[in-house]
């Protein structure tokens, strides 16, 4: 059976209404709903207010409102960042000045140190020191014993071999503490 336009008109004349499937007509937004469309006067404001009262739109408005509140402290955070950067620059400048002072002091100390050296003609090797005492090698240089503290096992062996084979062992010390060797050099000639 087919429906003719006349049959459709008869149904409307008898008061029967057919449901629509358009979401706009169901909510009353279209011309069939009896209201004006969006952007045409006072009806659109009412429609926006009705939309704003629906739950998904309420949540969206709350989220947007929360973001605006979060943006207000952003200016404060930016100001705090600038203050922190300024403090960091000040600390870096102070550290640079301090490092320069330390380097100058070290250079002055090194320049004030006078190093001396001499050839050893004998040695005493403390192979097993007393408990709590450091390993030590004493070199006799210019008739005086000078100590090398905490030498490694390889240094012990090299000094013993150097004396055994007749090589020169040169000790270097600071004149302010002449009994303590700063370094030892073995010359094989």
Mean pLDDT of the chain: 75
Q: Helix 42-53 to helix 55-112 angle, to the nearest 10 degrees?
A: 70
Report yes or no: 135 and 147 within 8 Å, Cβ to Cβ.
Answer: no
Report yes or no: 118 and 87 within 8 Å, Cβ to Cβ.
Answer: no
pLDDT band at 52 (very low <50, low <70, confident <90, very high): low
Rg (CA), the chain: 49
CA distance 120 to 116: 13
CA distance 137 to 75: 68
Torsion of CA 90, 92, 93, 94, to 10 degrees: 90
The percent of residues above 90 in pLDDT, for the chain, comes to 31
pLDDT band at 28 (very low <50, low <70, confident <90, very high): very low
Whose structure tokens read 């330390």?
Answer: 102
pLDDT of residue 26: 46
| Mean predicted confidence (pLDDT) in 88-111 | 85
- Start-to-end CA span in the chain (Å): 124
pLDDT of residue 142: 92
pLDDT band at 39 (very low <50, low <70, confident <90, very high): very low
Q: Which residue has the higher pLDDT, 120 or 27?
A: 120
Give the 3-state secondary structure of residue 126. strand
Q: Is the pLDDT of residue 97 over 80?
A: yes
pTM: 0.43
pLDDT of residue 36: 44
| Mean predicted confidence (pLDDT) in 151-173 | 92
Q: Is the pLDDT of residue 11 over 70?
A: no
Report yes or no: 165 and 173 within 8 Å, Cβ to Cβ.
Answer: no
- Alpha-carbon distances, residue 147 vs 85, 108, 127, 164, 172 (angstroms): 52, 26, 14, 20, 11
Run of H or E including 69: helix 55-112
Report yes or no: 180 and 153 within 8 Å, Cβ to Cβ.
Answer: no
């Amino acid at each position: 059976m087919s429906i003719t336009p006349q049959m459709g008109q008869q149904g409307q004349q008898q008061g029967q209404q057919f449901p629509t499937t358009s979401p706009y007509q169901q909510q009353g937004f279209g011309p069939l709903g009896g209201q004006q469309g969006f952007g045409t006067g006072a009806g659109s404001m009412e429609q926006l207010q009705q939309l704003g009262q629906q739950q998904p739109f309420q949540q969206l408005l709350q989220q947007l409102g929360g973001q605006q509140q979060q943006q207000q402290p952003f200016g404060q955070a930016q100001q705090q960042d600038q203050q922190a950067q300024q403090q960091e620059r000040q600390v870096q400048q102070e550290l640079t000045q301090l490092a320069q002072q330390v380097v100058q002091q070290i250079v002055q100390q090194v320049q004030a140190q006078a190093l001396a050296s001499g050839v050893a003609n004998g040695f005493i090797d403390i192979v097993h020191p007393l408990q709590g005492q450091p390993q030590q090698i004493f070199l006799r240089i210019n008739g005086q014993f000078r100590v090398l503290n905490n030498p490694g096992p390889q240094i012990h062996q090299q000094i013993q071999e150097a004396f055994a084979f007749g090589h020169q062992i040169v000790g270097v010390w600071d004149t302010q503490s002449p009994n303590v060797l700063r370094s030892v050099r073995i010359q094989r000639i």
